[in-house]
Structure 1
Amino acid sequence: MNPENWTQVRSFVLLGFPSSHLLQFLVFLGLMTTYTVTAIGNLLIIVLSWIDRRLHTQMYFFLRNLSFLELLLVTVVVPKMFVVILTRDHTISFVSCIIQSYLYFFLGTTDFFLLAVMSLDRYLAICRPLHCETLMRGHVCSQLVLASWLAGFLWVLCPTVLMASLPFCGPNGIDHFFCDSWPLLRLSCGDTHLLEMVTFMLSTSVSLGSLTLTSVSYACILATVLGAPTAVERRKALSTCTSHLTVVVIIYGSSIFLYVRMSEAQSKLLGKGASVLSCIITPLLNPFIFTLRNDKAQQALRDALGWLRLTAVMKLRVTSQRK
């Protein structure tokens, strides 16, 4: 098409929703339940690890940042889905679509870096405990987290700028429930080879790089754990590592799958499923897998609930005495 005849698309239509009213209601109900539980669970981790001194450790500092990251990630995608289902307006403006796409991949990339940092922290705590306190001091942990966020912010900036500069002259239907990059690229009427190459190189380097560091760290951890003198020590170390590895497998597995393209029909359906797994299910499982099954976190939660119960009882007594 002649560039002079291009008409820039100003909005897109999200097509990845069921057409049946019953299915839409069920999807909305499931999303509302999932989002509520995700928000409460991750906020609970953030608050507990902030106020309880027993949780003022490097591991819970990283977990607090991971919970905040997961909460932002699910908030980038799910509220727009609520709006689409409730209003039946599937349109999203061009600017909003680009912003949503950028935030999604920015947070997802930061997730990779943060998981790699957490695996390094677990390696030092289990394999090099004497060096851990020296190397992973408070300011070092803060710098590692800040570096993870900054790297995620910059890593996807170039592909997003290139995507925003592409011509979109129609059609404007995105076969997804949010503004994913691959469906957007298919809608462009310009040359996308450069962007596809840059996106592939950046996504491959960050995913494989962080996965390699994580895998090496946990391989060393596993070797150390298996050599522990007592079964109690092995069980304690494996309990923490199993939690981390579960989330690592879910996040990396779903992300790698999205870049292994199958047939067109299969990739659309399964790609949506992998996206649901990475941006909705993983933030939901994070509080239960990482923290709320931990003894210290459970005790902190019980103490917090006991304090809230005691406060409520005291307020009721004061109110009844005034009456």
Structure 2
Amino acid sequence: MVSAFSLACSACGKCCNSPPSMALPELFRHRDRFVGCIAIGRVTRRRAGERVTFGAHYHVLDDADVAAFDTLADALLHRSPLLADQSFSIATQGFDYPSLACCPALADDGLCAIHTNGKPSLCEAVPLDPMVPDSMQHVVLAARNASSAYFGANCIREGEAVQHGEGCEGTATASNDAHVRVHIVTLVANGRVQDASAQEAVQRRRAQLALDREFWGRTVFELLRGELFDSPVALARIPADGYLTISLVPALLAVARYSDACRVECVAYIDSQLALIERNVKHALQRRRPDDRPVTRELRAFADAYAHAKDLLAHPPRMSDNTAPSAARRVESWLRAR
């Protein structure tokens, strides 16, 4: 299959069709724009000899590919001893009405309103996928190049931009019908991510996922093991090709136990989320779309969970076993590094 792809982003907004996955500090930074939730997904272990096909392209995984996937899974995902062939992703992300079909950060002119003010690292990495090894990013781009979500964007192109991965200039039409000058760069070639800024964004996103896993992810995984991950019947709640979304409260309670400063940050976040949920539900009721009703119910459930959590956090909670001063300082710094 094609192993080299370049990118010519015109800010058309086609990939900004839903709220992105965001690290917890990123959600805290944009607490007045994004409703946060926990998204739980299945990740099936790859096998040598597995054939991955996208349109006219295909790739057969070898032992090195499988080892690279396993390395990422060990660092960023969670495993249940009952399911050796599967791992689980537990990540925070934005949550909104699918009927809106856009990211809450997309401005009226079709451009990102937070592009220069805390743009999420996952968005910086797009169209690469930080959950896929660098040596396999050409497979990601082949899939996205054939995806209907990118149809007509012409941003992902087969082959290198120019020799040696140097950038070149071009023009394109953005979503606001304005002609914009774009910088065309080689993203991947020869089994490597070639563009330095893209590579940095991918690594930053992986680092954020690792910290999320360390500071609250493992706690939430253990909390849910009995009722979800260790129950074959309950696991059916996790779609094979999607996510189970739950309230962000378990993550907040885990983080709040590190220190009183963390607790105060979490309470402030809850206050902002309650106000945002109220605004979003109000707008949905004005739209009067029947397909919005399940999301409205879920948002109201999130609000109830937040209100209960706020009561629990009214006083300093019992600290966890990880509340050594150094651990508390790390978590406080992580929450504020946004």
TM class by shorter chain equals: under 0.3
Bigger share in strand: 2
Q: Could you state the TM-score of these two structures normalised by the residue count of structure 2?
A: 0.23
Bigger share in helix: 1
Larger Rg: 1
Q: Could you state the TM-score of these two structures normalised by the residue count of structure 1?
A: 0.24
